[in-house]
């Protein structure tokens, strides 16, 4: 068995050396594309549900390496997921090291990631990104009231946090990152963290949701602040809509699958588990209800989700480094979920320097790739749909 495992590991390392994974040193030229992860596996949520009304779960999905003879090998010591260079190439995002300069992106999550700062350093070094540290003022971590008495650690949420901050930095390397950690996954704590984030950042990313509930409209006030763009993951279980993704005060971000032939990007389709649906309680914004394609989703004047999408399928997942032990191991992971698409959207908005609201999204300010293939319980259609919203931001 040891010989077989050594053979498998050797094959993985050989693929890495051939450039099929996305790892690179800081002084190496970044690849334009990267292949899919060099190992087969099965995806699972890091914050499995269901959760009770009034609490949330995160939306990161990890691709576990395939089992061999009953044993699951640890994640590789070099990245296996898609690199920042690949994502930027697929979406024609800025490659400038100063993209997002002058802006702050807040990441709101539950519990503590004790290695968030050091893991961000490893990620940045691996992909040749500018350093983003506490000492240089780029990275700041606070609790839900802005203090440094952090909540208890949680391994699943720690992996979520690593995904969020690393990919916000990847897409907007010039922006500051503010991590706000709620003391629990209860809405009362998460909305307190949201309130702090809204007064200390121009862009706020939330990779969590719970089930809709009859009193949710009373919480909508936590997701709006003058001059702030707020993004919420649409979920990873298809239909129906979840909250606060369904709040009219946020941009709901769904998920897609990136398809490759070898290392060449070929197409983008709707992810079968991407969240979406018509809200049971929230009314559509005027900008959404007036949009020409809104009528075809038959939400009857209710809020429709998602508004937009980006890569989320863990089978086209991104590279994430996490040294906080998750399920007995640590290192490089391949991670997806709308937890991936949401901080990338927030970061792309920061690159633009614009406030991204429903009016901005449903206006003519963004170039979208219309996603017309795929199904999450609702089909991806020409124009707006409950599968991918308006599509993915390109250019």
Q: What is the pLDDT of residues 20-73, one digit of tens each?
A: 333 333 333 333 334 344 335 689 999 987 788 999 999 999 998 665 545 556
Measure Cα distances from 248 to 283, 284, 299 in Å: 7, 6, 14
What is the model's pLDDT at position 22?
33
What is the model's pLDDT at position 74?
62
Contact by Cβ (8 Å): 68, 8: yes
Determine the average pLDDT of the residues in 101-122.
Answer: 98
What is the model's pLDDT at position 51?
80
Contact by Cβ (8 Å): 127, 82: no
Contact by Cβ (8 Å): 202, 352: no
pLDDT score of 19 more than 50: no
What is the model's pLDDT at position 181?
98
Tell me the percentage of the chain whose pLDDT exceeds 90.
82
The sign one gets for the Cα dihedral 100, 106, 107, 112 is positive
Name the residue range of residue 50's domain: 2-393
pLDDT score of 15 more than 60: no
Query: At 259, which helix (H) or strand (E)?
Result: strand 251-261
What is the model's pLDDT at position 12?
35
What is the model's pLDDT at position 176?
98
**Domain count within the chain:** 1
Q: What is the pTM of this model?
A: 0.89
CATH number for position 296: 3.40.50.200
Mean pLDDT of the chain: 89
Determine the average pLDDT of the residues in 323-333.
Answer: 93
344, 346, 349, 350 alpha-carbon torsion, rounded to 10°: -100
What is the model's pLDDT at position 67?
59
Determine the average pLDDT of the residues in 305-331.
Answer: 96
Determine the average pLDDT of the residues in 284-293.
Answer: 97
pLDDT tens, 226-264? 999 999 999 999 999 999 999 999 999 999 999 999 889
pLDDT tens, 151-198? 999 999 999 999 999 999 999 999 999 999 999 999 999 999 999 999
Q: At what angle do helices 338-352 and 155-171 cross, to 10 degrees?
A: 30
Query: At 179, which helix (H) or strand (E)?
Result: strand 176-182
Question: Coil, strand or helix: which one is 47?
Answer: coil
């Amino acid at each position: 068995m040891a010989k077989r495992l050594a053979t498998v590991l050797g094959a993985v390392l050989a693929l890495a050396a051939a450039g099929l994974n996305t790892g690179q040193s800081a002084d190496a030229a970044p690849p334009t594309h990267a292949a899919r992860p060099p190992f087969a596996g099965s995806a699972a949520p890091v914050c499995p549900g269901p959760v009770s009304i009034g609490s949330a779960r995160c939306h990161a999905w990890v691709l576990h390496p395939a089992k061999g003879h009953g044993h699951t090998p640890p994640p590789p010591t070099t990245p296996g997921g898609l690199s920042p260079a690949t994502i930027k190439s697929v979406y024609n995002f800025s490659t400038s090291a100063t993209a997002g300069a002058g802006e702050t992106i807040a990441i709101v999550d539950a519990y503590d990631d004790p290695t968030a700062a050091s893991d961000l350093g490893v990620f940045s070094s691996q992909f040749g990104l500018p350093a983003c540290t506490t000492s240089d003022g780029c990275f700041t971590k606070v609790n839900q009231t802005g203090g440094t008495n952090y909540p208890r650690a949680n391994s699943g949420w720690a992996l979520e946090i690593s995904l969020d901050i690393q990919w916000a930095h990847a897409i907007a390397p010039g922006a500051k990152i503010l991590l706000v950690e709620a003391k629990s996954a209860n809405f009362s704590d998460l909305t307190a963290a949201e309130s702090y984030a809204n007064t200390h950042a121009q862009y706020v990313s939330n990779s969590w949701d719970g089930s809709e509930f009859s009193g949710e409209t009373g919480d909508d006030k936590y997701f709006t602040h003058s001059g702030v763009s707020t993004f919420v993951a649409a979920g990873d279980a298809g239909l129906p809509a979840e909250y606060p993704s369904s709040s009219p005060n946020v941009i709901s971000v769904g998920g897609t699958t990136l398809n490759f032939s070898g290392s060449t990007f070929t197409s983008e389709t709707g992810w079968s588990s991407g969240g979406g649906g018509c809200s049971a309680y929230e009314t559509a914004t005027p900008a959404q209800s007036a949009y020409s394609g809104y009528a075809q989703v038959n939400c009857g004047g209710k809020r429709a989700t998602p508004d937009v999408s980006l890569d989320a399928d863990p089978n086209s997942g991104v590279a994430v480094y996490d040294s906080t032990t998750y399920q007995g191991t640590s290192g490089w992971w391949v991670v997806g979920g709308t937890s991936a698409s949401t901080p990338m959207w927030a970061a792309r908005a920061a690159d633009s320097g614009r406030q991204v609201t429903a009016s901005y999204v449903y206006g003519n300010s963004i170039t979208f790739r219309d996603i017309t293939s795929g199904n999450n319980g609702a089909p991806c259609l020409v124009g707006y749909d409950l599968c991918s919203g308006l599509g993915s931001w390109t250019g």
